[in-house]
Every structure is written in C-alpha cells, then in structure tokens.
Amino acid sequence: MRTQDQERNRLFGRRAALLAGGKVVLISALVGRMYYLQVLEADRYRMLAEENRINLRLLPPPRGRILDRNGVPLAVNEQNFRLLVVSEQTDNLDTTLDALARLVPLGEADRARIHREVKRRRSFVPVKIRENLTWDEVARIEINSLDLPGVTIDVGESRHYPSGELAAHLLGYVAVPSESDLNGDPLLELPGFRIGKAGIERVYDLPLRGTAGNSQVEVNAVGRVIRELARNEGRPGRDLNLTIDLRLQEFASRRLGEESASVVVMDIHSGELLVMASTPSFDPNAFNRGLTSEEWKALISNPRSPLANKAIAGQYTPGSTFKMVVALAALESGTMSRDQRVFCPGHMMLGNAKFHCWKKGGHGSLNMVEAIKHSCDVFFYEAARRTGIDRIADMARKFGMGTPTGLDLPGERPGVVPSRNWKQATLGQPWHLGETLVNGIGQGFILATPLQMAVMTARIANGGRAVVPHLARDLVQGGEMAPRPMPTFQPIGVSPTGLAVVRQGMNAVTNEQGGTAWAARIREAGMEMSGKTGTAQVRRITLRERETGVRKNEDLPWKERDHALFVAYAPEQAPRFAIAVVVEHGGGGSAVAAPIARDIMIEVQKTFRPAVAALAPQDAASRSQGGGG
C-alpha cells in the first residue's frame, strides 16, 4: 500500500514539475514578447498608435483667378453655401427632409440620393443635401433651424464667371474629374474637387489649381473628429492674365446681336487677341451648378450652335477675302504683274463651262488693285488659271491657312487648303482646272476659320511676318506664371512690293468711292481701315436664278443664305489691329459684315488710342508716311 502511495506521489511530482516547467516556458515567452513589443518595437507601435489617433486630411487650394488685360475678373471663386445633414442628430431623417422641402426645392431623386449616402457612411458623417444655395434660401433655413435638427450650412468655394456668356467659349468651365483624369494625385479624389474641362481653364489647369494644404485632426476609435491639431493652407492657384479686353468683348458681342456669328480682333505685331466673340453663347455658370435636361436639350438642339466657338471651330469658304492670297501668289510667281489688265465681260468661258462674275454686266478692264477694289471674279479666275492651284496653296499656307494657328486654346480646327496632292490623297481623284478657277475666288474645297482669316490679314498688314495669336499674357515656366516676353516673328517670304499692291487694293475697297465696302468706311480722320469683303455661297445658284435674278437671301431659308465675311486692318497709316468678321447665312459681306467690323474697329482704336478720334485731317495726313507697312 505504501509502495503504491509512493508511486502515486512520484507521478504527481513529475506532472507538477512538467506543468511548472510549461508555465515557466509560457511566462518566459510572454515576457519575451512583451519585451519585444514594448522595448524593441516601441517606436514603431507608438507611431502606429499616433497614426490611428491623428488623421491627415487634404485641403483643396483656392483656384487662381482669370483676369482680362486690365485686371477685370473673368473667373473667380465665390462662397458656396452647402446644406448638410448629420443623420445621428435627427430624430427622423424623413421628417427632417419633409420640413426642408417646405423651405427649399427637394425632389424625390434628391431624397433617394441622400438616403443612399446616409446608409453608406457613418452616422456622424455629414451628407450633402444641396449646394449653391441662394442667400434667401440660407436665411429661410437659419430662421427655421430649431425645427431642423441635424441640419447645418457649410460655406465652401465655387467657380463663378462674372461675365457670363461674354467669354464662355474662351474660359471654358470646371467639373469633377472623370476616371480618365485620375492620375494618382489624391487631390483629384477629394469630394467636389473640380478641374478645368474646357477652354483656358483646361489649358492652364495646373497653375490655376495650386498646391493642396493639409489638416491634422485627432479622432477617436470610431473615426469621430475630436479636435484639429495643425493646419497648413497650401498654396493658392496662380492668377492668369488674358489679352482679351472685356469691355471690347462686350461691345463686339452686343454688335453681333442675335446673329450666328464670330469676330476676332488681334494686334498684328504681338499676336495678342483683344476680342474673340462667338454668338450665340452659353452661361458657363450653368455647368457649374448643373444643367437641367431641358437646358441641355435647348443648347444642343439650337441650330445656331451656342456651344461651338465659331471663331476657331467654324470652318467657312472664305469667299472673296481669299483674293488677296491669290493676288500675292500671282505676283510672287510672276504670272501676273500689278498693272496687267484683264477684261471682265461678266463671265469667263472654260471649254463649254461658263464661270460668272458677281456683277452681271461685268467690270470692264481692270488691273490688280482695281480688281481687289471691285472684287472682280473674272480677274481672279484668270489669275488662278495662270498661277495654278499648287502655287496658290503654298501662298495660303504662308498666311496661316490649312493648319492650326498655334493658339493656346483647345478645339481649333485646321481648315482646308486644297492642292493636287490633297485631292488625290483625300478623294482619290485628279484635280481639274475648273476647280482652280473656283478656288481663285475663295469657293470650292477651301475652308478657313475666322481666326485664320484674322491671322492672314495681320500678316498682310505687318509686312509679311509670321505673327502667331495667343490669349494668355503670362507663360507657365516650371509651374510658375511669368510675363510673356514680346515675341519676334520671322518673315514668311513674301516681297514688300507684292504686299504693298494688296494693301493698296484693300485701301481702295473701303476708302475709295466704288469700293465694295465704301459705304462701311471709317470716316474719323486717322482711324481709316483697309479691308476686303466676302460673300460665301452655301448652295449652287441655278441657271434660272441667274437669268431671272430671283435669288434674294432674305427670301431663302436661313440655312441656304450666303455667309457674310469681312477682313480689315487699321489704322491705315500705321496698322496695328486686324479684324475678321463672319456672319453665318447673313447675306452680303459689304452689307452685313463690313458695318459690324467698322463699328468694332472704331471702338478698338478709341480704346487704345484715345486721342485718335480727335485728330484733325491735317494731323492724320502728317502721320501717313510709310504707307500701310
């Protein structure tokens, strides 16, 4: 019995020893682990705990302003009153929304969105109900705040365009980044953050956007903000100065009125665009607040295309405004001289085909200056026939046609400069001589934008230098804005003699009796302009219409009426400004486009040369040395 007891005690002793040893091992492992975590890894876990306690939040920077050449704001940031609700602070969300609906518009779609966001987010996270509240709406909500538990008004920033429709096509608009815009920049993923989507806002988005700031906030275990510990506001976006003069832009837009039209005014020496107006226009603020379906349908269904910037995206047959290019091609190639005369009986025969002049009885015998003055079609049929389409095409390219001008604005169309190779490559067909004749008066395949027509005129007026237009007075260098230096433009390779002949013809168009724009001349001494009218057909004139004369633009459907065009430079004695006006389906260039250009050019010269309007005729004559160069 005693032996059994001793055996049992030894068994219990061994088991106790094993258990004690296991405890020692476990305690040693626990102590070792605690030592590892609390001593060796103390810094790491202290940092992780701090990161859980402190959240770093990005702060979107204020977007830079866009200003006109005189510092007038075109795009600014204004207070954006946003209506928020915290669901945990409301007794019943639907009851709160019902009360709100009696104060501000709140549709079923808004309610559904709010409920979805409340379910996705934590109960203490604010959910946006509406933004861009008016001051009256804010006041109504504040007065009734006791009946709206959980509802607060937050003040943020929203892009605003004070000039509304006046510069919409230039400025563009901002919008929330799309999936394709996301590039890893966390700033783009902030709720409500907007980037430039069109126009100048898009081209200069990065410097206008600025650099994000940050805020360090202390949060509890469930993410609720306890307090803000530190704040760095970041760097606001840079202001951008444009070359546009808003007052002139407004004058030009008002002068175009309800027409589907565009006008471009540029400095012929620097390339600065003073006016670029396209009508009708649209309000970019509507895109910021959100267009209704009815507003969007009205914009896209309007036959006068308010969303299109016609100054750079409208492509038109230039009509008789192209005759200066044909004249220079003929002069430079030696196929015609200044004094060579062509007789115009009212038409020209090419085989069995008859090519008509706009003047039914003809102009008689004319030289090149007289042909430009009277816009004689037969003269330029002959000039084109002798010169050939390829030489004309080469000259057109020297004057900025057939390719984008290089403007710092997206959406510019290249136009079309036809040639033998172009037609073969594009249509797979050979070129015909009759097409050369039609091209000689700016009809047929050739297309140009109003901006290209203004550039062409500027290069004629500045002595044949390859001026390039631009809209921003600042350049972006390493993310910073810097004033644009005065550019130097190279000669395009056209003789001064040929340019002088063309300028003499343009002067005769407006300033000599019998010129096609004589009625639209500028009468103020020292402010005279030299120009060229153009009327571009959009439909073929039938033989019956030619014989009977029954073809008045006003009697035709709007879409079948001719385009009215006019280009000019001023002042004649010392050119500085070039203008191009295109009125879609407006009729004759001399009757419609030229008077618009005259009024705008007078206003431009008064703005930049206030004393010019008061000059006496003898004073203006004393300044006329040097001609049109």
**Kind and range of the H or E element at 246?**
helix 246-256
Q: Can you tell me whether residue 570 is helix, strand or coil?
A: strand
CA distance linking residue 604 with residue 217, whole number of Å: 55
DSSP line for 192-224: T--EE-SHHHHHTHHHHH-B-EEEEEEE-TT--
> Which residues is 278 bridged to in the sheet?
262
DSSP state, residue 484: P
Catalytic residue among 87, 158, 320, 419: 320
The answer to whether residues 167 and 291 touch, using CB atoms and an 8 Å cutoff, is no
**Nearest-5° angle of CA 370, CA 371, CA 375?**
120
CA distance linking residue 388 with residue 351, whole number of Å: 17
CA 108 from chain centre, in angstroms, equals 36
- Residues 6 or more apart in contact with residue 41 via CB below 8 angstroms: none
Q: Establish whether 590 is a catalytic residue.
A: no
Find the radius of gyration of the CA atoms of the chain.
36
Phi, psi of 343 (to 5 degrees): -90, 130
Q: Can you tell me whether residue 477 is helix, strand or coil?
A: strand
The answer to whether residues 540 and 618 touch, using CB atoms and an 8 Å cutoff, is no
Strands of 31-72, DSSP E: 54-59, 66-67
Which amino acid, one-letter code, is at 387? T
The single residue listed with the structure tokens 């050739």 is 446
Phi, psi of 417 (to 5 degrees): -115, 105
CA distance linking residue 275 with residue 457, whole number of Å: 15
Strands of 268-356, DSSP E: 273-279, 342-344, 347-350, 353-356
The answer to whether residues 280 and 406 touch, using CB atoms and an 8 Å cutoff, is no
Active site residues: 320
